[in-house]
Structure 1
């Protein structure tokens, strides 16, 4: 936990060893971000691969339940994100720069670490793996669209191409150094979301479109519904990096970081709404129960537009991967330097980051089950850190009056989040098992 040291103007002070390490680590090394950095970092973190699966999620839920859960998720996640922004500097003189540091303040040093850190690691590593698969599939779709007569190339090779970009980008030192990449990614997310729903409208609904649930029996529909919950949870999850993003914004007692951060979040959530609701609604309206788990795979024409959209997705997930990888790099480098007493160096950073990119590439190549992965990880890990952990910490730290409006809201959201965590992985795991039955490794 980093302590803010106030020094009188014009007085020079020798940095402590702890401060020197913090000045090297990626999360705390630069605090010069503007409020709009918060906007595009949050958009990049949230509007990722998940938006393309929303019409598919709707087809597993139907118009009524799907629409309600989409609106509910938007409201709940905006509320819990506000809580985290508020709690970032709730202790005078301290900043909770990392999610697990806030967890330690709420639950205790050891218990907080055990509760938050494993979940955060699972979220960030699994998201990077999913982005490996998404980036590879988008490149493959681009190749197949622009050159339909060309020889088929294995998905494995496209994932390798996507990973090669990160073997370079991953060595950028901190959040602020990837701002240009994140901005490009945020713009691309808005562009390809717009392409997805406008191309769907232009195509028009076919005569035989159906809006019934896509399962063949009630049991299959139930599992599909559970998986769709995970898809939506994945789409709305960006909270795992929100404190790390806020840590890059300067803060003083007169101008706390929560003000510019919240301003950025509001703009980010407006972009989220502009991206998500049209894609989910129009995509489902046009394709009904025949939509794929990635709507760009369903859209075939016009070829140039679909090819462009897939390249936009590729650029976006490049930025998204970096946003989710940076806190992992911070965790690894913190552990090695503070616990294992390694000397902070370029070689240490190069080795750890290269190994991480290689690991996520290998897992992505081995298990590219896009739809099942979204549902499983969306429920298993993203639901707790996004939907209800902030509420639990709020109840512990802010102590709202029992049976007050704040108390009720937090408990209702906790119950919804726990149900999501239990039900969504069931559907996702079933989809992974079904995909695995017919899958050949490294195809």
Structure 2
């Protein structure tokens, strides 16, 4: 997030002062502003009331992906060649973090697997989404079609953006094509794309955090059902004639503390790709592979040691190996970042 805010500020600065100006930007004020916005949106009581924010976030996602894809294609045409190789970054290439060694390439490959896994971490909110669907038709049928379409479209866009971006910049490809110095022109289009990323992340934060909010509040109300601080809903009329907004003091306090904590952690450890890879590695195998596979086996009564059972177990084991490798690569990346790290220092 800090990287994206800096990119917006830097493009405006370089437009005025020229591309050679480093335009150092402090990202902390922008992160604080993002946290304040999330505190406000976090007061939305229930997951099903986020439908409009989810739609906006999805539209923004398509928007900046199309911009990145279009700029990548134009860069390939401008270069009149396809850069990069089928095996990835060449060993011995000098990058901003030094010369790429065989060991570094292996760790970075593992880290990239974690980043890919994070892109498919939707499974942790799959049940919450299904609970918001109306029936008929049956929720599971609607969810099956929606999952198939969304995964196919997501994979298509990610593959196109990744491959085209690498073809455009080759071994010098940055971690974020739109926000890390990959594309520099046109400034106005880059600003629009990066603003779309910010709006998308606002919605994504809420979509992923609302189930956590609901779980904590449900458990608190079970344990302390007589506490007015936890259970009492205060109705507030924001506009004349509108439905009242339900304000809960426990929800207000605990969600605000949660957002402040996550904002401080983001400011304290601004290692976007490494942290993303670690989160993806941790959540991918158990939530996206293991539990769904085991539930399918139980639901369909798949016989133990049958061909289908063995194939499913091999798939689960292979994904476990990928997750462990991705976690290891991300941890190594974070350890490398920590060597030159200064807390809350985000001037770049």
Normalised by the size of structure 1, how large is the TM-score? 0.65
State the shift of 1:389 in Å: 2.4
Residues in 2 aligned to 1:288 and 1:412: alpha-carbon distance in whole angstroms: 34
Residues in 2 aligned to 1:187 and 1:409: alpha-carbon distance in whole angstroms: 37
State the shift of 1:263 in Å: 2.6
Residues in 2 aligned to 1:315 and 1:143: alpha-carbon distance in whole angstroms: 16
- What's the CA shift string for 1:18-74, capped at 9, x where partnerless? xxxxxxxxxxxxxxxxxxxxxxxxxxxxxxxxxxxxxxxxxxxxxxxxxxxxxxxxx
2:10 aligned to which of 129, 141, 144: 144
Aligned to 2:285: 383
SS class of match (2:121):
coil
Aligned to 1:430: 332
State the shift of 1:320 in Å: 0.4
**Which segments of 5 or more consecutive residues in structure 1 lack a partner in the other structure?**
1-133
The answer to whether the aligner puts 1:202 opposite 2:74 as a matched pair is yes
Residues in 2 aligned to 1:340 and 1:408: alpha-carbon distance in whole angstroms: 46
State the shift of 1:208 in Å: 9.5
Aligned to 1:14: none
The answer to whether the aligner puts 1:192 opposite 2:64 as a matched pair is yes
The answer to whether the aligner puts 1:361 opposite 2:263 as a matched pair is yes
Please report the RMSD computed on the Cα atoms of aligned residues, expressed in angstroms: 2.1
Aligned to 1:156: 28
1:303 aligned to which of 187, 192, 216: 187
State the shift of 1:251 in Å: 4.4
The answer to whether the aligner puts 1:395 opposite 2:261 as a matched pair is no
CA contact (8 A) 2:117 2:284 kept: yes
Aligned to 2:143: 261
1:442 aligned to which of 338, 344, 347: 344
2:89 aligned to which of 213, 218, 223: 213
Listed as ranges, the matches of 1:323-334 within 5 Å are: 323-334=207-218
Residues in 1 aligned to 2:177 and 2:90: alpha-carbon distance in whole angstroms: 15
State the shift of 1:398 in Å: 3.2
Aligned to 1:314: 198
1:276 aligned to which of 148, 152, 158: 158
Aligned to 1:247: 131
Aligned to 1:344: 231
- What's the CA shift string for 1:330-379, capped at 9, x where partnerless? 11101211124344231111111111111110100100101111222211
Normalised by the size of structure 2, how large is the TM-score? 0.82
- Bigger drift between 324-333 and 391-400 goes to 391-400
Residues in 2 aligned to 1:294 and 1:306: alpha-carbon distance in whole angstroms: 12
Residues in 1 aligned to 2:56 and 2:308: alpha-carbon distance in whole angstroms: 38
Residues in 2 aligned to 1:387 and 1:403: alpha-carbon distance in whole angstroms: 19
Residues in 2 aligned to 1:250 and 1:181: alpha-carbon distance in whole angstroms: 19
- What's the CA shift string for 1:371-427, capped at 9, x where partnerless? 111222211233321132211232244331345453233212211221022111111
Residues in 1 aligned to 2:194 and 2:307: alpha-carbon distance in whole angstroms: 45
The answer to whether the aligner puts 1:172 opposite 2:172 as a matched pair is no
**Which segments of 5 or more consecutive residues in structure 2 lack a partner in the other structure?**
18-22, 92-99, 233-247
1:290 aligned to which of 169, 172, 181: 172
State the shift of 1:203 in Å: 1.6
Equivalences, count: 307
- What's the CA shift string for 1:150-196, capped at 9, x where partnerless? 87431111111111111111111112211111101001111111111
